[in-house]
A = this chain, B = another copy of it.
Amino acid sequence: MSMQDTASSGVALWRLVADGIERGIADGRFAAGDKLPGEVEIAETYRVNRHTVRRALAALAERGIVRAERGSGTYVEAQRLAYPLRSRTRFSEIVGADGREPHGRLIETSEDVATRELARELGLKAGAPLVRIEAIRLADRTPICVSTTWLSAELFPGAGEVFAATRSMTKLLEHYGVRDYRRGATRITAGIVDATDAARLDLPLGRPILVVDATDHDLDGKPLVTKHSRFAAERVEFLVES
């Protein structure tokens, strides 16, 4: 037969092989610099045709995760960003600690109106005016996540412009006199990247993302901003400390 034995999952075989190899890299079975097994051997372990393996390796190579050398073998090159989820987490500090250069990039800002959900998170009334900020965060030149951030337009008038100028949520809050803040309850889910985020994160369609919803509070527990962030799962791992 030509497709996988089980009912079709909507995921191509070569893609499953690629994911398997990538998982092997992520969990250390193959370290950076290591030589992968030969294409024939991989084909045997996954029970697919060698051409299917080649398609998988080509996809990984295009994403810069492996590198093929004719006559010699295929070699690994990659690593994930460790992202601690403490109550006081700053993106720039995490990326800096990894020896990489943090960047923020504004996609767009707009005026918005609080849904019931958003109003509850921010302690406002439904229909209250909000500022919505859509932004990307990068380590060196690699996009790590896209975030949609909402703030009260009354408490933070002109927040969009301030973020455009500072490109930092911490500096934005400082501008309004907020000296410190903490992350509150955080929801983590996984999903598949949609077309818009795929383009922003420079991810191929169909790749997994970590979805994080969190609300930041000031030291008195008053909600300040609420965020909906989508992380490229292949570039980051969250660390929850206790």
* CB nearest to A185 among chain B residues: B241
Q: Is the CB of A10 within 8 A of B15?
A: yes
A–B pairs, 28, beta carbons within 8 Å: A6-B195, A6-B204, A6-B205, A9-B206, A10-B12, A10-B14, A11-B15, A15-B206, A16-B194, A16-B205, A19-B192, A20-B194, A23-B191, A80-B189, A85-B240, A183-B242, A185-B241, A186-B240, A186-B241, A186-B242, A187-B238, A187-B240, A188-B239, A189-B237, A190-B190, A190-B210, A208-B208, A208-B233
Q: In the docked arrangement, what's the CA distance between A4 and B195, Å?
A: 10
Task: With both chains docked as a complex, state the minimum distance between the C-beta of A184 and any C-beta of chain B, in angstroms.
Answer: 6
Contacts A9-B207, A10-B206 aside, 14 further interface pairs with beta carbons under 8 A come to A11-B12, A16-B192, A23-B191, A184-B242, A185-B241, A185-B242, A186-B240, A186-B242, A187-B238, A188-B238, A188-B240, A189-B236, A190-B210, A240-B240
Closest Cβ of chain B: how far from A151's Cβ, in Å? 19
For this chain, the copies found in one complex come to 2
Determine if A209 is an interface residue (Cβ-Cβ < 8 Å): yes
User: Which applies to chain A's interface (DSSP): helix, strand, loop or mixed?
Assistant: mixed
Q: List residues of A (158-198) whose CB comes within 8 Å of B's CBs.
A: 182-192, 194-195, 198
CA of A85 to CA of B237 in the docked complex: distance in angstroms? 16
Question: Which residues 1-51 of A have a CB within 8 angstroms of B?
Answer: 4, 6-12, 14-16, 18-20, 23, 26, 28
* Contact yes or no, A87 B242, CB < 8 A: yes
- Least CB separation from A199: chain B residue: B6
